[in-house]
Amino acid sequence: MRYWLALSLLGFSVVSLALSQTARTKFEDPDLAPEQRAADLVSRLTLEEKVSQMQNAAPAIPRLGIPAYDWWNEALHGVARSGIATVFPQAIGLAATWDTGLHLRIADVISTEARAKYNDAIAHGNHHRYYGLTFWSPNINIFRDPRWGRGQETYGEDPYLTSQFGIAFIKGMQGNDPRYFKTIATSKHYAVHSGPEVSRHRDNVDATPEDLKHTYLYAFHTTLTQGPADSVMCAYNSVNGSPACASDFLLQDTLRRDWKFSGYVVSDCDSVDDIYSGHHFAKSLAEASAAAVKAGTDLDCGKSYQALVQAVHQGLITEQEINRAVERLFIARIRLGMFDPPSRVPFSKIAMDEVASPAHLQLALEAAEKSMVLLKNDKGILPLERAPRRIAVLGPAGDDRDALLGNYNGTPSYTVTPLEGIRKEFGAHSEIRYAPGSAYAAMPKLIDSERVPADVLLQEAVGIAERSDLVILCIGLNSRLEGEEMPIDIPGFSHGDRTDIQLPAPQQKLLESVLDTGKPVIVVLINGSALALEAAKNRAAAILEAWYPGQEGGTAIARTLSGKNNPGGRLPVTFYKSVAQLPPFADYSMKNRTYRYFSGDPLYPFGFGLSYSTFTYSDQTVRGQTASARVTNASQREGDEVVQLYIKTDYAPNPVLKGFARVHLQPGESRSMSFTSDEMNNSAVISGGPLTSSK
């Protein structure tokens, strides 16, 4: 008995360790439905044991052979926080690929590496956080305002684009086995959540029915019905007067009743406590916990649900309502195969040699290359097929490894910075010199060289530029400036958000000083959100948006500059000229936000991106719910085109994206493209970019 119990706590099933003996309980029978098994198990638990399983760090229950399990795991763009993993471009960069097939392959790789790590952890008795199979990704909130520091985690500002990328991620993560999940994906943060970070624990958002339907709930509805994700995370903020994690409207009426969601709901970390201490919606933690469970929040990230035992004794909630939540949680673990013989679980043999394998790293390079968005190419300076003799690589992002990774990232086995990639690509024929030129912002210890006075840094960079034939200026942001609820309050930044979308002052001065040398300047942007760069748009020779491109980012940048990679990415967000074009950050009305509602002249519009190839469109037709067009590569260079369908609607003043596809065409090749939409009408236009473009 001791031997059996010890092994069961390592995560092996009761059935397999009983050497194929007949299952003693319904829970132990892998041939029964997960719902039956979960109900049987929950019936055997005490109230205290049930409550213990409703917290992310669920302890073992030795008497029933239930191992400990931590539900908290991250996989936004690679398995995070659990050692070496393949690190893909940040989510905003993946959205810039406009390639859902690629995203499906990436998510499949992430889930493969996740299974490998889980299998290895279980074999070594490791039940710690970040080694499980329930992942709190994707972030499908709408990037409604470029000041939000967590916008980098999203798929951009458009609900349709977001929903399609969310579905691809979920399918890749959860797999297609009819019985077992490969991993479980979690759509977050539900709902109406996108900053400001500093006040999210107490903010209430009043959203109109129209904004809820067409913007804030659209991708949740799609990913939870068409993915479908088996989990959803409720948000910190309140929506129309009720905390999201205790909202009957969100969790009961919409999620369970209207969308028929059957999975489980997890709280954002400590958001149950916010119901009491932040929103003052409840008079005690016990009351807050009861309200959350009654609304439908099954799992608490944190320890607030410890108060549920007291809540039951006080009559605030029934034990039957507790049972419902715990059953949902065990159904998920059963569908992950955690209690079944490994021989029955198709993912149980995935080994650690899959992690950061050559094939996975090649996919990271492909993703980085496809995420590149060419915003300007004056007089065809790019590609650099004949590299100049002397190249200056300048800017604080030029040799910064952290700037490649964004937030919620894994640990790569190696990284390639822009400087390293450029040296490898051009170093055989060009002399390449580097200087950071400035700090990222007016904040200490952002880069090692910041200890050098700013004027000395600037003079060094300008001197190198003056002695060079070409400048590649790598500037932007990093996840030490923009991110989740960060203790940063400096000019232009506040708690992970931005107060201004201009390039930070030290880099703006560097940009203008280098432009003043008269040398041709190629600006490479490393960032997770839109920047206002009118000086670069007006005076630089070229602008390449690289986002946070992952571990192979430097290689992808260099290969794009040389022409080995023909850029085909498109903007998933609008680039504005200044915050003066935007409503206040805390205003959640969609009026004048994003390309669908914006009435001004953007710096660069949503859907925009240039190529080294030229594409033409012809034979556009609309028949019923289908629009068709013929796209042709009219150049002598093969390349990718992102074909986009826009339709006028009755809820947005500007045409709305309702279809897209990334296609690869050889020189002279044509392809017929068709899109179907239940909102189709004669206004439909198929094009290679927004209906208003910015060159």
User: For 344-383, what is the HEC assignment?
Assistant: HCCCCCCCHHHCCCHHHHHHHHHHHHHHCEEEEEHHHCCC
Q: Both 430 and 318 in a single domain?
A: no
Amino acid identity, position 50: K
What per-residue confidence (pLDDT) applies to 663?
98
Q: Both 281 and 388 in a single domain?
A: no
Burial 518-538 (b: 16+ CB within 10 A, else e): ebbbbbbbbbbbbbbbeebbe
**Rounded Cα distance, 480 and 341, in Å:** 44
Q: Both 489 and 432 in a single domain?
A: yes
Among candidate residues 99, 113, 268, 274, the one labeled active-site is 268
Amino acid identity, position 267: S
**Cα atoms in the Cβ-side hemisphere of radius 13 Å centred on 117:** 30
**Phi, psi (degrees; rounded to nearest 5) at 12:** -75, 155
Q: Both 516 and 591 in a single domain?
A: no
Burial 78-90 (b: 16+ CB within 10 A, else e): bbbbbbbbbbbbb
Cα dist from 400 to 373, 440, 449, 526, 553, whole Å = 20, 11, 11, 10, 11
Q: Which of 335, 369, 389 is the last residue of a domain?
A: 335
Q: Both 435 and 301 in a single domain?
A: no
Count of Cβ atoms closer than 10 Å to residue 474 Cβ: 30
Q: Both 551 and 629 in a single domain?
A: no
Contact 91, 138 (CB under 8 A): yes
Count of Cβ atoms closer than 10 Å to residue 223 Cβ: 27
**Cα atoms in the Cβ-side hemisphere of radius 13 Å centred on 399:** 16
What per-residue confidence (pLDDT) applies to 185?
98
Structure tokens at 559: 């290969």
**Rounded Cα distance, 292 and 286, in Å:** 10
Binned average pLDDT, 10 residues per bin, the chain of 695 residues: 35 38 80 98 98 98 96 98 98 98 98 98 97 98 98 98 98 98 98 96 97 98 98 98 98 98 98 98 98 98 98 98 98 98 97 98 99 96 95 98 97 98 97 98 56 90 98 97 94 96 97 98 98 98 98 98 98 98 98 97 98 98 97 98 98 97 98 97 93 49
Instruction: Indicate whether 189 belongs to any domain.
Output: no
What per-residue confidence (pLDDT) applies to 21?
43
Residues 240, 242, 248, 251, CA torsion sign: positive
Q: Both 591 and 682 in a single domain?
A: yes
Contact 42, 102 (CB under 8 A): no
Q: Which of 524, 556, 571 is the last residue of a domain?
A: 571
Q: Which of 515, 547, 571 is the last residue of a domain?
A: 571
Amino acid identity, position 7: L
CATH number of residue 546's parent domain: 3.40.50.1700
What per-residue confidence (pLDDT) applies to 690?
79
Count of Cβ atoms closer than 10 Å to residue 442 Cβ: 15
Catalytic (active site) residue 366: no
Q: Which residue bears the tokens 């399983």?
A: 53
**Rounded Cα distance, 99 and 524, in Å:** 22
CATH number of residue 647's parent domain: 2.60.40
- Bridge partners of 233, per DSSP, are 266
**Phi, psi (degrees; rounded to nearest 5) at 659:** -175, 150
What per-residue confidence (pLDDT) applies to 412?
98
**Rounded Cα distance, 637 and 565, in Å:** 11
Instruction: Indicate whether 230 belongs to any domain.
Output: yes
**pTM of the predicted model as reported, rounded to 2 decimal places:** 0.95
What per-residue confidence (pLDDT) applies to 689?
86
Angle at 576 between CA 155 and CA 694, to 5 degrees: 95
CA 354 to chain centre: 23
Instruction: Indicate whether 99 belongs to any domain.
Output: no
What per-residue confidence (pLDDT) applies to 322?
98
SS3 at position 630: strand
**Phi, psi (degrees; rounded to nearest 5) at 469:** -95, -20
Cα dist from 638 to 611, 614, 661, whole Å = 10, 9, 17
Structure tokens at 543: 């602008």
One DSSP character per residue, 26-39 reads STT-TTS-HHHHHH
**Rounded Cα distance, 266 and 268, in Å:** 7
Residues 155, 167, 69, 77, CA torsion sign: negative
Among candidate residues 274, 369, 482, 545, the one labeled active-site is 482
Instruction: Indicate whether 366 belongs to any domain.
Output: yes
Q: Both 322 and 388 in a single domain?
A: no
**Rounded Cα distance, 479 and 527, in Å:** 8
If we measure between CA atoms, which residue out of 649, 652, 642 comes closest to residue 677?
649
**Rounded Cα distance, 163 and 158, in Å:** 9
- Bridge partners of 685, per DSSP, are 646
Amino acid identity, position 18: A
CATH number of residue 245's parent domain: 3.20.20.300
Instruction: Indicate whether 135 belongs to any domain.
Output: no
The secondary structure of residue 342, as a DSSP letter, is G
Instruction: Indicate whether 475 belongs to any domain.
Output: yes
Q: Both 373 and 457 in a single domain?
A: yes
**Rounded Cα distance, 129 and 121, in Å:** 11
Instruction: Indicate whether 353 belongs to any domain.
Output: no
In the chain, how many domains are there? 3
Q: Both 557 and 613 in a single domain?
A: no
Catalytic (active site) residue 482: yes
Q: Both 560 and 582 in a single domain?
A: no
Q: Both 423 and 535 in a single domain?
A: yes
Instruction: Indicate whether 87 belongs to any domain.
Output: no
What per-residue confidence (pLDDT) applies to 691?
72
| Containing structural domain, residue 22 | 1-67+214-335
Our CA dihedral for 82, 84, 89, 91, rounded to 10 degrees, sits at -10
Instruction: Pinpoint the alpha helices (H) of 278-318.
Output: 285-295, 308-313
